[in-house]
Structure 1
Amino acid sequence: MKRAKDLERLRALAAEWMELAGLPVMEERRDGWTALHSLRGKRPMILVEVGYINDYVTQDELLCMDPFCRRTEEYMLKTIRHAKEVGDDIVVEPYFRMGYSMEQPSFGVDVKMVESSEKGLAYVFEHTIKEPEDMKRLVRREFHIDRERTERNRAVLEEAFGDLLPVRLGNYDFMDEADGDYTWTGNCFFGLTWQLHRFIGLGELMYWFYDHPDDLHALLRYMTDDRLRMFRTLEKEKCLVPNTDNQMGGPCFYGYCDDLPKENGQICGLDSMWAWCESQESSSISAGMFGEFVLPYLAELAREFGLIYYGCCEPVCDRLGLIEKAILNLRAVSVSMWNDFDVVGDLIGKKYVYSRKPAPPPMSGKDVNWEAAEKDLLLTKRSARDANLELLFRDLYDIGGERERLAKWVNLAKRTLGL
């Protein structure tokens, strides 16, 4: 009885999903994203990330009882609500994407994450590599695709709505390991210093550049080989499809473009995909040190892929010149609030996608600072000028329970940019 109700609920959401996918505006947006990421943008594109906003969908709204169905229901409800309410350039495709389940084995030095007891996303790590000697405990990880679990989950979705909303299988969600989380499917994330921070701690990592340079190179070599092994396992096991639709080619970044194969469910190789390359943890070191220690390993991974999205929250003004010389397939550059906006626009020009991350503080918390939000948008307009511009609004976790403020911000952005 419970299962029947779960499937009935998912089917009802699938009907809403398909209704949205069939709207003419979806084709217009798809064309807009494709043109932008092919460096012939027709207009700035806007996308708000709602997946991590507190209570964007509350637990009280969820009806499914089975954990997998419940997480799928939450994802579908977020997508539908986003498409109906926000007014940005979200694309709802006429199919439902799910990724393969892949086991993440231990590094041999397990890092414990301690979450805050209060509601939110705050957490700290219990770092396990204290000295270079601890690196001896690291093990070579081998990756395994859990096809049995994958097919079991797909069968549930096919039974619920496969005849109404086709289910497409491909890629893997690196950020969310729980079955039923689909926000990041398609995202080939490097995360080299991201993992080093977890091993060592950011403060201690800074000392390693001076005190243990050879060991730091060895650790980056270990992580690079580990990531290559994971990506190549996905390729060898024929789990990859082009992430050139509304999958994540980068952080909250659609992959639509003309320069890679279109996503049609066909198996592909790494060289047909976007990948996300970043090193936020390197922000505090010099560009020269970044170029010596970190960039060569990022560039090695980047060569495996078709196109690269670079960056997240880190400033790029002092190192973009190094990055573009090392990563020849660079296509999009993240521009966070930490950049020098008088410089970054000239550096990016029309060579790359100017992927602006609006400043979250004015829109966060109990009260909105609309004046500051508009100032941030005007800064973007002045800096980007006629660039291939997109606004990807991320890291917005608390909107004071006011979902309507998202649409108000989108309208403000459109007015400010003259859309």
Structure 2
Amino acid sequence: MRQDETNARSNRILFSDKDQEILRTLGHRIAEISADRINEINARNWTLLNDKKSVKPMVWINEVPWHELNVNDELTLRCQQPWARSLEDEMKKTIYQWNHFRGDMVVNPYMESPLAITSTGFGIEEDAACVATDQANDVVSRHFKIQITEPEDIDKIKMPVIAHDIAKTEETFAAMNEIFSGILPVKKVGRKHIWYTPWDYLVRWWGVQEAILDLILRPDMVHDIYERMVQAWMREMDQLETLNLLSLDNNNTRIGSGGYGYTTELPGTEYDSSHVMAKNMWGCSNAQIFSTVSPEMHWEFAVEHDLKWLERFGLTYYGCCEPLDIKMDVLRRIPNLRKVSASPWNNSAKIIDAIGSDYVISRKPNPVIVAGNTFDQCQAEKDLREFMDLTDKSCHVELIFKDISTVRYDPRRLWEWEKTAMRVAEDYTR
């Protein structure tokens, strides 16, 4: 055997015939699902929403407690090889969601093979003591060890270095083509969307109370450290662009804390299909820890810095859990803003009036509705209708049910919520 043949074999991902059979069976099911015309209809309606020409509120569910949802072994993994097992997990979750709480989801008629991209990170690792009420749940309480206390600690934040392991990328791509040959095409996919949220990192290193107090006590220190984080993200994006590691996200990619990114406005006129740039994509930002700060401070210590990042993109999404009902004057200073998060912590009337028809309203219904001792479907519907009744026909709304830490091991709560939301959305179709 020649040396190159030996190397080729040693670089293969090895899996058993049984593992391959399991994955191929799932692949056939994914192919069936993706061929359903409802995917085309949903994709068109997401496009109309994000183009601000919506015909209906769009419904999508994510961030769910998968460990509580296994019914009739639908999520039980059978593969043995770790890589195959991970792929099986991803595919079974897609099929499960389609079967039970699909909302307006879209399933691709192909499999994605991710580029093997690594980053050295920001130089500081989260150090936290965790307390869990359910050992199977990755949603836990954390007490963070403070690592930023003085201005000099800015030096702890490093500029990330991006690398692409081409051999690993090809190894994965070859394995997926071998498995899904004759069933589904396989496409290489780079970084599709970046969850840019410097404050989420900083409060884990700085401390929540400490960081908020320093907005007043040591504002110069806050500006310097936050700007350092912004520049770290900018450096990372520079490398992703230079190395040609980005992929378009105007598809069924989640954007910010909201729904899909379908839109006719991206990738834009300045687009080279062989080299995706940030300007062809969606950007996002948020400052969840700023729930209680004034609009002026939100601008000064977050959005004003973030503009350097956000201006690189074609369109942007802003917000997550933080209430933004009194901060729209700040957000309107983002030139390419398209979608705004409307978490349950907003005054509904105020946030709807402030956003109007100028942007997409990314509504987040309160997940507590499925987390109590019982599930009140009538109340779930009442909550949805009360919000939608405050909108008018000019508003563009997506209903994104997320941050669901528990359904009390009763997955049917989620299924029933989805049916309720889809019925409500139908009633508000134009």
Give the partner amino acid of 2:39.
M
What root-mean-square deviation, in Å, do the aligned CA atoms of Structure 1 and Structure 2 show?
2.2
Q: 1:386-407, CA deviations, whole angstroms, 9 ceiling, x for partnerless residues?
A: 2111101101121233333223
User: How far apart in 2 are the matches of 1:32 and 1:4?
Assistant: 41
Question: Which of 172, 177, 193 is equivalent to 1:158?
Answer: 177
Partner of 1:177: none
Q: Secondary structure at the match of 2:283?
A: strand
Q: Is 2:384 the partner of 1:377?
A: yes
Q: Is 2:363 the partner of 1:356?
A: yes
Does the Cα contact within 8 Å between 1:50 and 1:82 map onto a contact in 2? Answer: no
Q: Secondary structure at the match of 1:253?
A: coil
Partner of 1:14: 27
Partner of 1:179: none
Q: Is 2:113 the partner of 1:104?
A: no
The alpha-carbon deviation at position 208 of structure 1 amounts to: 1.3
Partner of 1:75: 90
Partner of 1:191: 197
Give the partner amino acid of 2:212.
M
The alpha-carbon deviation at position 84 of structure 1 amounts to: 1.8
Q: Secondary structure at the match of 1:97?
A: strand
Does the Cα contact within 8 Å between 1:53 and 1:398 map onto a contact in 2? Answer: no
Question: Which of 297, 301, 320 is equivalent to 2:305?
Answer: 297
Indicate the larger mover: 255-264 or 369-378: 255-264
Partner of 1:396: 404
Partner of 1:127: 146
Does the Cα contact within 8 Å between 1:190 and 1:298 map onto a contact in 2? Answer: no
Structure 1: unaligned runs, 5 residues or longer? 173-185
User: How far apart in 2 are the matches of 1:111 and 1:301?
Assistant: 24
Does the Cα contact within 8 Å between 1:33 and 1:256 map onto a contact in 2? Answer: yes
User: How far apart in 2 are the matches of 1:112 and 1:99?
Assistant: 29
Q: Is 2:198 the partner of 1:210?
A: no
Question: Which of 395, 404, 422 is equivalent to 1:414?
Answer: 422
User: How far apart in 2 are the matches of 1:384 and 1:235?
Assistant: 40
Give the partner amino acid of 2:304.
P
Q: 1:160-193, CA deviations, whole angstroms, 9 ceiling, x for partnerless residues?
A: 1144212222233xxxxxxxxxxxxx22221111
The alpha-carbon deviation at position 218 of structure 1 amounts to: 0.9
Q: Is 2:386 the partner of 1:368?
A: no
User: How far apart in 1 are the matches of 2:378 and 2:273?
Assistant: 45
Does the Cα contact within 8 Å between 1:111 and 1:127 map onto a contact in 2? Answer: no
The alpha-carbon deviation at position 37 of structure 1 amounts to: 0.7
Give matches, 1:312-331, under 5 Å.
312-325=320-333, 327-331=334-338
Q: Is 2:109 the partner of 1:94?
A: yes
User: How far apart in 1 are the matches of 2:274 and 2:25?
Assistant: 28
Q: 1:344-368, CA deviations, whole angstroms, 9 ceiling, x for partnerless residues?
A: 1111111111111111001124421
% same residue: 28
Partner of 2:6: none
Q: Secondary structure at the match of 1:103?
A: strand
Question: Which of 213, 231, 234 is equivalent to 2:240?
Answer: 234
Give the partner amino acid of 2:347.
D
Give the partner amino acid of 2:299.
G
The alpha-carbon deviation at position 323 of structure 1 amounts to: 1.1
CA gap 1:225/1:264 in 2 versus in 1, 3 angstroms: closer
Does the Cα contact within 8 Å between 1:49 and 1:252 map onto a contact in 2? Answer: no
The runs of 4+ residues in structure 1 deviating greater than 4 Å are: 57-60, 262-266
Give the partner amino acid of 1:377.
L
Partner of 1:178: none
Question: Which of 28, 37, 47 is equivalent to 2:41?
Answer: 28
Q: Secondary structure at the match of 1:40?
A: coil
Q: 1:18-48, CA deviations, whole angstroms, 9 ceiling, x for partnerless residues?
A: 1000011111111111111110001111111
CA gap 1:108/1:193 in 2 versus in 1, 3 angstroms: same
CA gap 1:32/1:344 in 2 versus in 1, 3 angstroms: same
The alpha-carbon deviation at position 264 of structure 1 amounts to: 12
The TM-score with structure 1 as length reference comes to 0.90
Give the partner amino acid of 2:237.
F
Structure 2: unaligned runs, 5 residues or longer? 1-13
Indicate the larger mover: 313-322 or 373-382: 373-382
CA gap 1:109/1:268 in 2 versus in 1, 3 angstroms: closer
Partner of 2:340: 333
Does the Cα contact within 8 Å between 2:103 and 2:422 map onto a contact in 1? Answer: no
CA gap 1:123/1:233 in 2 versus in 1, 3 angstroms: farther
CA gap 1:3/1:139 in 2 versus in 1, 3 angstroms: same
Give the partner amino acid of 1:385.
D
Give the partner amino acid of 2:363.
R
Give matches, 1:172-191, under 5 Å.
172=191, 186-191=192-197
Structure with bigger gyration radius: 2
Indicate the larger mover: 307-316 or 137-146: 137-146
User: How far apart in 2 are the matches of 1:219 and 1:147?
Assistant: 34
The TM-score with structure 2 as length reference comes to 0.88
Q: Secondary structure at the match of 2:68?
A: coil
Q: How many residues align?
A: 405
The alpha-carbon deviation at position 112 of structure 1 amounts to: 2.0
The alpha-carbon deviation at position 281 of structure 1 amounts to: 1.2
